[in-house]
Amino acid sequence: MNESTTDTGHGPALPDGAGDGTRAVRAGLPEPVKHEPTLPGPVFAAHFHLPGDPTGPYTYGRDENPTWTLLERAVGELEAPGQEGVETLVFASGMAAISSVLFSQLRAGDAVVLPDDGYQALPLVRAQLETYGIEVRTAPTGGDAQLEVLDGAKLLWIETPSNPGLDVCDVRRLAEAAHARGALVAVDNTLATPLGQRPLELGADFAVASGTKQLTGHGDVLLGYVVGRDAEAMAAVRRWRKIVGAIPGPMEAWLAHRSIATLQLRVDRQNATALTLARALRERSEVTGLRYPGLSDDPSHTIASQQMRGFGCVVSFTLPSRERADRFLGALRLVDDATSFGGVRSTAERRGRWGGDAVPEGFIRFSVGAEDPEDLVADVLRALDESAV
């Protein structure tokens, strides 16, 4: 028997090469204590007993919480297994995590490169950055186009796969180019999840994500996180979290940690069904612009196959008109018309209803859930048929 183990510095050590399922169900657990729960319940505390000098890990609830600590360990073990010197911080939402990196690392006069096809809140972030005297450059995700505007930038922000268009860029190539120019690199890993892609292994300085989506997977928790390898940069992120108070509640943190235990089960089911659905949609004449990185003929498939271990649960496509898209969504029986993605219940929406995304009126972002694949595909094909009239 191989007795070699990876010492994480907390909790029972995992065997070398532990699989995703093993890592997900064990991630962040404390050392076992007789008569104590395997995953301690949420710690509700604004302050802690603190006689004498303020030493030790827990002093005030805006700075640290034991429930966050376990969750941060769990996320770090998934995003950067076996890597030394990696720190994880959890936040109240994905946007809180994104903002913490951008606003803690950039100063007036700096330049940052953002994707022009990323999450729809990025234009709001751009406006705020520019108000602070920060130059914002944008380029598409596909074709590694951000390389063209990288010179002189302080930070490169990558979103791959992009939301909602599902383009993919070469993280390793972009990170090497950015570092050669003295820029930091952050990767939004929301859509891939740490089981689908590990940005720090690809050379990024930060992995950032909305845990609201597939990481927690039940549509009932708002959460974000930042994982980074540079101690000084992460200290600035931590300071930003303290200043703005963008902290998760202990109940949300505990729910998130509990949900991570089923992450590998959900990801495997949802990603496989997404590929099945994408293949079925490929046969429909009314469907155009179909994107899913797992399809062999998708423009992003080659590079996605090289850097991703799974292709995600989101499929995007376009129907001929806004009216057709609305009829299609209304005809679905097993799919909720809702925003966000990654939940165990499938959702879909006509993305153009929000504005901010450069997509056709009939563009659909479809998030595949954990329903039986045959039932879900049958429901989608039936809804396409019914919406044709």
Taking a C-beta distance cutoff of 8 angstroms, is the pair 12, 29 a contact?
yes
Distance between CA atoms of residues 389 and 386, nearest Å: 6
Distance between CA atoms of residues 226 and 233, nearest Å: 11
pLDDT digits (tens, 9 = 90+) for 348-385: 999 988 877 789 999 999 999 999 999 999 999 999 99
> CA–CA distance from 22 to each of 14, 30, 53, 327 (Å)?
8, 15, 41, 43
State the pLDDT at residue 8. Answer: 36
* CA atoms in the 13 A half-sphere facing the CB of 335: 32
Find residue 207's DSSP bridge partners. 187, 227
State the pLDDT at residue 54. Answer: 85
Secondary structure (3-state) at 152: coil
Distance between CA atoms of residues 261 and 119, nearest Å: 27
Contacts of 314 (CB under 8 A, 6+ apart): 161, 163, 164, 166, 191, 274, 292, 341, 342, 365, 366, 367, 368
Give ∠ CA 308-209-84 in degrees, rounded to 5. 75
State the pLDDT at residue 354. Answer: 83
State how far Cα 184 lies from the chain centre: 19
Q: Which residues of the chain have pLDDT under 50?
A: 1-9
Distance between CA atoms of residues 190 and 196, nearest Å: 10
Contacts of 52 (CB under 8 A, 6+ apart): none
Q: Return the amino acid letter for 26.
A: R
Taking a C-beta distance cutoff of 8 angstroms, is the pair 63, 90 a contact?
no
Distance between CA atoms of residues 349 and 388, nearest Å: 18
Q: Which of 375, 317, 379, 324 is nearest to 351 (CA)?
A: 317
Distance between CA atoms of residues 389 and 385, nearest Å: 8
Helix orientation angle between 231-244 and 94-105, rounded to the nearest 10 degrees: 120
Distance between CA atoms of residues 154 and 1, nearest Å: 49
**Other C-beta atoms lying within 10 Å of the C-beta of residue 43:** 17
Distance between CA atoms of residues 71 and 255, nearest Å: 10
Q: In this structure, what are the phi and psi dihedrals at residue 337, rounded to the nearest 5 degrees? A: -80, 95
Q: Mind spelling out the 3-state secondary structure of 292-344?
A: CCCCCCCCCHHHHHHHCCCCCCEEEEECCCHHHHHHHHHHCCCCEECCCCCCC
Q: In this structure, what are the phi and psi dihedrals at residue 87, rounded to the nearest 5 degrees? A: -115, 145
Q: Which of 289, 338, 340, 282 is nearest to 314 (CA)?
A: 340
Q: How far apart are the first and last CA of the chain?
A: 64
> How much is the pTM?
0.94
Contacts of 25 (CB under 8 A, 6+ apart): 261, 264
Q: Which of 192, 199, 162, 181 is nearest to 76 (CA)?
A: 199
